[in-house]
Amino acid sequence: MPIKDKPRPPRFSLFNNILLILAGVFLFVSFILPVFSRPQVPGVPYSLFIHQVQEGDVARVQVGQNQIRFQLKSDEEMGGEQVGQVFSTTPIFDLGLPNLLEEKGVEFAATPPPKNGWVSNALGWIIPPLIFVGIFQFFVRRGGGGGAQGMLSIGKSKAKVYVEGESAKTTFADVAGVDEAKAELVEVVDFLKTPGRYTQIGARIPKGVLLVGPPGTGKTLLAKAVAGEAGVPFFSISGSEFVEMFVGVGSSRVRDLFEQAKKEAPCIVFIDELDAIGKSRSSSGFYGGNDEREQTLNQLLSEMDGFAAEDATVIVLAATNRPEILDPALLRPGRFDRQVLVDRPALSGREAILKIHAQTVKLGEDVDLNAIATRTPGFAGADLANLVNEAALLAARNQRESVAQADFAEAIERVVAGLEKKSRVLNDKEKKIVAYHEVGHAIVGSLMPGSGRVEKISIVSRGMSALGYTLQLPTEDRFLSDETELRGQIATLLGGRSAEEVVFNSITTGASNDLQRATDLAEQMVTTFGMSKILGPLAYEQGSRAMFLNEGVPNPRRMMSEATAEAIDREVKDIVETAHQQALDTLNHNRDILETITMQLLETEALEGKPLHQLLEQVQAAPAI
């Protein structure tokens, strides 16, 4: 969105032009004019000079640091009437030259210092300071854009001011999938446009609105939509722009920002990445700190607390994806007293977002946006925008005039699993191991409750290290999982390793990532979800704020006894081993189907769609022992 145009000063003022003219005169008088006014003297080799001295032809010599000038004896001195000619030569290190000149009776002296005229002396005292002043003004104007901004006003706010009535502005119509957040912000915009409707019944609009959500969910886009809808001045700045290397700059910029906002009220101030300056002051490792970031935060708290009645229409809008690390003073009533969750969109929201981004590309007749939205659970708005762009790039690469459903399917795989690595060629033994591994995941996953539907099995390498992959996509949005479903997820993760044991009676390094994920999930079941009958409904993992205070420690546990830690380890091991045995039993019971699917996979390198579903429908659960 365009920024308000401000008048720029002329690039060169009259003063600068005068400085340039005087500098040119100074250079001409000091360096160029003496060169032209100096008489030209022919030069000769130093050896010829010494020879003429020894022959007694030299009358007088002027010895300088860079040049020796000598005059030959005149005809008058030699008995004639012609004046002696002057020559020059380049001196060399010769300590015997004075003795030689004295011996031959040659008059010699040092070259006299050059005589500068009064004009050159005056310019030498006046021009250098003027040039320094001109250079200083140039950097001041360049550093701050001229006017009041510059090196001497580094504490001024760098906020960008958005104005109403510009073309290509973002509105709420460009935002989808976050209807609740839009409703909250529509109320803020409405208050700025018609404050009387709220104040007449005693309502008070919040001073600060904090947009909270994962990265890519559209927090900044919502802020731009507010700028497009509000019709009032909109100041936008990032939290990192407050703090620089100079002490006191951050707090000075905060003061200047709010001074500008109060002059333009009613208006909106948007601070992106608030956690850059709003991090909890108790997390610095010591109390009573006086660092630059803390002073900036203190100034922000003071400014938000200092709104008078006439400043009520200055609303502060901020965004962060790390609300757990913000200072509690920021979140109390009277400051950021309203938090708006901007979460990942549900199925209907994803479809609406796809429709918005699909307006800029040519879609084929077979494209089903609802099916694409169904296959992309957990995707944020930025992920969906990237998905549409990837599909368009694939269509253009394949010389198609429109984007087909197959392009979207391939784009989803690229985003989820990574790019294909066809250059990574496996030998026959490795290809066979990978095939059984992936089919093991698919067979176990097809029976587990609450797991997604197996859509594709491939032994084509993708991403950084995946030699093959099994693509499972949920058929609906899920927000809760019970203990049985979590145990089923662990069994599915161990299905690949279990297939290697069943077929080859050995294991490989290919299951390392599966083991890591299975162990982490089992540990969460015990320490976070309280799904252990022995340990009971207790949380042994530290909360998010405690995790922040112990940065660098992955999943830190609370202080506990050795007996409790051993009990946790035993429970985690028991959950993983039970799931491992469940996967082994399932694969042994369906050994024929395991072989059938693997043979087909080795022939085609990928199985998906209806043929794969028909094969997996034959899988049966192992009888309970």
Please state whether the predicted TM-score (pTM) of the whole model is above 0.85.
no
Q: Which of 341, 362, 395 is the last residue of a domain?
A: 341
Which candidate, 304, 315, 312, places its Cα nearest to that of 196? 312
Model confidence at 2: pLDDT above 70: no
Residue at 494 is within a domain:
yes
- Residue the block writes with tokens 């886009």: 221
Residue at 1 is within a domain:
no
* pLDDT over 90, % of the chain: 23
Q: Which residue has the higher pLDDT, 623 or 393?
A: 393
287 in the same domain as 205: yes
The predicted-structure confidence for 47-70, as pLDDT tens digits, reads as follows 888 888 888 888 888 887 778 888
Distances, alpha carbon 584 to alpha carbons 404, 502, 590, 615, 617, in Å: 40, 7, 10, 19, 19
Domain enclosing residue 31, as ranges: 14-35+117-153
363 in the same domain as 440: no
Model confidence at 425: pLDDT above 60: yes
DSSP tag of 463: T
Task: Using pLDDT thresholds of 50, 70 and 90, give the confidence band for residue 149.
Answer: very low
Q: Give the domain CATH number at 463.
A: 1.20.58.760
Residue at 622 is within a domain:
no
The predicted-structure confidence for 153-195, as pLDDT tens digits, reads as follows 554 555 566 555 444 577 888 888 888 888 888 888 888 778 7
When mean pLDDT is compared across 77-91, 149-163, 193-207, the lowest value belongs to: 149-163
Model confidence at 114: pLDDT above 70: no
- As given in the structure block, the two tokens for residue 257 are 């920002």
Which candidate, 494, 575, 482, places its Cα nearest to that of 534? 575
The mean pLDDT of the chain is: 79
CA dist 583 and 436 (Å) reads 13
Residue at 6 is within a domain:
no
Give residue 250's pLDDT: 73
Residue-wise burial string across 415-440, b where 16 or more C-beta atoms lie within 10 A, e elsewhere: ebbeeeeeeeebeeeebbbbbbbbbb
131 in the same domain as 192: no
Give residue 516's pLDDT: 94
Residue at 624 is within a domain:
no
Model confidence at 557: pLDDT above 90: no
228 in the same domain as 336: yes
DSSP tag of 150: S
- As given in the structure block, the two tokens for residue 623 are 């009888």
Residue at 442 is within a domain:
yes
Model confidence at 286: pLDDT above 50: no
* Residue pair 222/256 in contact by the 8 Å Cβ criterion: no
Give residue 600's pLDDT: 93
Question: Beta strand 267-272 with 314-320: parallel, antiparallel or unpaired?
Answer: parallel
CA dist 307 and 299 (Å) reads 13
Model confidence at 251: pLDDT above 80: no
449 in the same domain as 528: yes
Collapsing DSSP to helix, strand or coil, 426 comes out as coil
337 in the same domain as 353: no
When mean pLDDT is compared across 308-322, 518-532, 572-586, 593-607, the lowest value belongs to: 308-322
Q: How many domains does the chain have?
A: 5
Give residue 151's pLDDT: 46
583 in the same domain as 566: yes
For the beta sheet containing 234-238, the strands, ordered from the edge strand earlier in sequence to the opposite edge, are: 160-162, 234-238, 267-272, 314-320, 208-212, 338-341
Q: Which residue has the higher pLDDT, 552 or 75?
A: 75
362 in the same domain as 290: no
Give residue 556's pLDDT: 60
Q: Which residue has the higher pLDDT, 297 or 457?
A: 457
213 in the same domain as 357: no
361 in the same domain as 397: yes
Active-site amino acid positions: 438
555 in the same domain as 454: yes
Q: Which of 153, 173, 204 is the last residue of a domain?
A: 153
Distances, alpha carbon 15 to alpha carbons 19, 40, 125, 151, in Å: 6, 39, 18, 20
CA dist 381 and 354 (Å) reads 9
Question: CB within 8 A of 518, min separation 6: which ones?
Answer: 490, 493, 494, 576, 579
Q: Which of 292, 317, 341 is the last residue of a domain?
A: 341
CA dist 419 and 244 (Å) reads 40
Residue at 421 is within a domain:
no
Model confidence at 274: pLDDT above 70: yes
Give residue 543's pLDDT: 56
Residue at 8 is within a domain:
no
122 in the same domain as 234: no
Give the residue-averaged pLDDT of 434-449. 93
Q: Give the domain CATH number at 200.
A: 3.40.50.300
Ramachandran angles phi, psi of 272, nearest 5° = -85, 150
Task: Using pLDDT thresholds of 50, 70 and 90, give the confidence band for residue 283.
Answer: low
81-90, 287-296, 426-435, range with greatest mean pLDDT: 426-435
Q: Give the domain CATH number at 360.
A: 1.10.8.60
